[in-house]
Structure 1
Amino acid sequence: MRPSNVLTAISDVLAGLAIACLFMIQGLPSWMDIVNIVVSSMLLYTGGIVFNDVFDAKLDRIERPERPIPSGRIAISSASIFGIVSFVIACWLAMQVNMTCLYVALAIVVMCILYNGIAKHHFILGPIAMGMCRGLNLLLGFAVIPASLTHWYIALVPVIYIASVTNISRGEVYGNNKTALQVSLGLYLLVILILSYFAWQSGHLYAFIFIGGFVLMISQPLFKALKTLEPMDIRKAVKFGVLALILMNASWIALSGFWVLALAVCCILPLSIVLAKKFVVT
């Protein structure tokens, strides 16, 4: 499941919801809708990450034999059932909010399967497909207020960011992927500039505190990986790139004017870091 990663999904939908409220100039919806869409997002991520291991079972026997399926601790059939059940419950919860949320949830399921089954090992399509999974997860938060989906282009930011993290992960087994790391550094800078622009335009300048935390978390491990090109350092860059999603999403929430919610989302980070020490992230 990658428990630490699953928690980052909470911040995705809450960021999408906060941005939707900013554009629609309204407050947050009912707590029931928020709970339903948050749990739906977590289960969608769970299903996607489980099928990542299901589709990679053959390759992992060679590259990552310690993983649950190739090590024999989990049967591939059991993992598949678990992933399917996660997807089904996630879609049902999304439908409890509205039909638009259901359609976005179904799109996430399709994109997860396409990424894991077809696009993952493609040089260009892999990072883009993975990024689209996160972009759609942001739009799942937008879909709680369907009219806000006219601003769908905001979802391109997590697409760019996750594509850059996925690009870094290409070297987590063998290392020596300097060009990929340099490309991802450029994409990171683009994401930071976009966040800064929206923070300045919104007038909620305290968002720059959250953006600063995000920058610190992603930059140090990436620069170290660029220096050493060692697989272990590259894995750390990927790990902190994934976990830093929480701070990136907290930045979106803060610039939308919900600073208390942004602080609450930041509280997820310590728990994710603790879980990341007990369960693999990549």
Structure 2
Amino acid sequence: MSNSKIFAYLQLTRPANVITAIADIWAGFAIAGAWEYMANNWNFGDQQFWWNLIWLSLSTIGLYAGGVAFNDVADSELDAIERPERPIPSGRVSKKAAFWMSSFLLIFGIFCAFQVNQIAGILAIAVAACAVLYDYLGKHQRILGPINMGLCRTGNLLLGISVAPEVLEKIWPIGILPLIYVSAITIISRGEVHGKNRKALFAGAAMYSLIFLAIIGLTYLEGAGYLEVVPFLALLGYLLFPPLAKAIRTQEPKFIGKSVKAAVISLIIVNASLASAFAGWSIGIVILLLLPISLWLAKKFAVT
């Protein structure tokens, strides 16, 4: 297979976005207490911890990449009109090949999750189902669409927490946070083609602000120091709100697209903030190391 063909298949998977999904898993480990337990016991050679982290990271790679690739399969006819440069309408990847690749990735993601425990496997099935439902039906629903997309991220964060099922049973409502954040991105992104969606932009800004308040509240409840979390939130605000403000001011598709791109990449910082609230700033830094990788990939592959 030629390099150009490989590049076309990779385009379908949105590699920069996949990195943000890995951040969900790592933050889930922090919420579950897995990182903190290992560090407190100086047991950095704990093979079970690393295998669980590897399996669930591979799981989310398969689930996310398969889900977004299926999105291009579902949108191939529309993309032929609005985005003819994409792999399928441009003829660089056949629709049939993209379908089978997407299916394999989702099955791979589910298989990897079951290597950790049954609950993780069930969550992976739910994430895959939500992704395919959104691709073929949810995206066309004005209200249910953003919720559907948000549930994919909710399931992904809970997938990370599932490494400790007893913790997941108690703290699963935290999945509301990625639900709100990703729903906001989905609402805003509807102006990427035609623009003129000021109400949606303001709604998205309000939902982003709610995430900041929620993370600060969690920091208080967990008894973490605010100085451990505030730097991450400051970085999140710096990346999130300036492009959103420009999108609100202009309502032009180009700037709306840039706002969406910034919000997707900033999912890594949201996860770093959550990890810091539950496990300290050092784990937040570990997750933040994924940011330059995602930014580098975003220069080579489309994010939206």
Specify if TM > 0.5. yes
State the secondary structure of the residue aligned to 1:42: helix
Quick one: distance in 2 between partners of 1:84 and 1:214? 34
Deviation at 1:177, TM superposition (A): 0.6
Give unpaired runs (5+ residues) of structure 2: 1-12, 40-47
Partner amino acid, structure 2, of 1:197: G
Map Cα deviations across residues 118-170 of structure 1 (whole Å, 9 max, x no partner): 11111111111000000000000111111112211100000000000010100
Contact 2:76 2:89 in 1 (8 A): yes
State the secondary structure of the residue aligned to 2:137: helix
Contact 1:204 1:257 in 2 (8 A): no
Range with bigger deviation, 195-204 or 82-91: 195-204
Alignment correspondent of 1:133: 152
Alignment correspondent of 1:177: 197
Choose from 231, 235, 253 the match for 1:213. 235
Map Cα deviations across residues 213-239 of structure 1 (whole Å, 9 max, x no partner): 111111111001001111000000000
The number of equivalent residue pairs is 281
Identity %: 41
Deviation at 1:111, TM superposition (A): 0.5
Alignment correspondent of 2:43: none
Quick one: distance in 2 between partners of 1:115 and 1:156? 18
Quick one: distance in 1 between partners of 2:234 and 2:179? 20
Partner amino acid, structure 1, of 2:165: P
Quick one: distance in 1 between partners of 2:31 and 2:168? 10
Alignment correspondent of 2:8: none
1:204 equivalent to 2:234? Answer no
Contact 2:30 2:36 in 1 (8 A): no
1:275 equivalent to 2:297? Answer yes
Give unpaired runs (5+ residues) of structure 1: none
Contact 1:199 1:208 in 2 (8 A): no
1:14 equivalent to 2:26? Answer yes
1:156 equivalent to 2:176? Answer yes
Contact 1:36 1:94 in 2 (8 A): yes
Moved over 4 A (4+): 24-29
Deviation at 1:27, TM superposition (A): 4.3
Deviation at 1:204, TM superposition (A): 3.0
Quick one: distance in 1 between partners of 2:179 and 2:95? 29
Quick one: distance in 1 between partners of 2:302 and 2:108? 25
State the secondary structure of the residue aligned to 1:120: helix
Range with bigger deviation, 47-56 or 270-279: 270-279
Deviation at 1:260, TM superposition (A): 2.4
1:56 equivalent to 2:68? Answer no
Query: What CA RMSD, in Å, does the superposition of the two structures yield over aligned residues?
Result: 1.5
Where does 1:234-273 land on structure 2 (aligned, <5 Å)? 234-273=256-295
Quick one: distance in 2 between partners of 1:274 and 1:84? 27
Deviation at 1:25, TM superposition (A): 8.1
Alignment correspondent of 1:46: 65
Quick one: distance in 2 between partners of 1:87 and 1:276? 23
Partner amino acid, structure 2, of 1:182: F
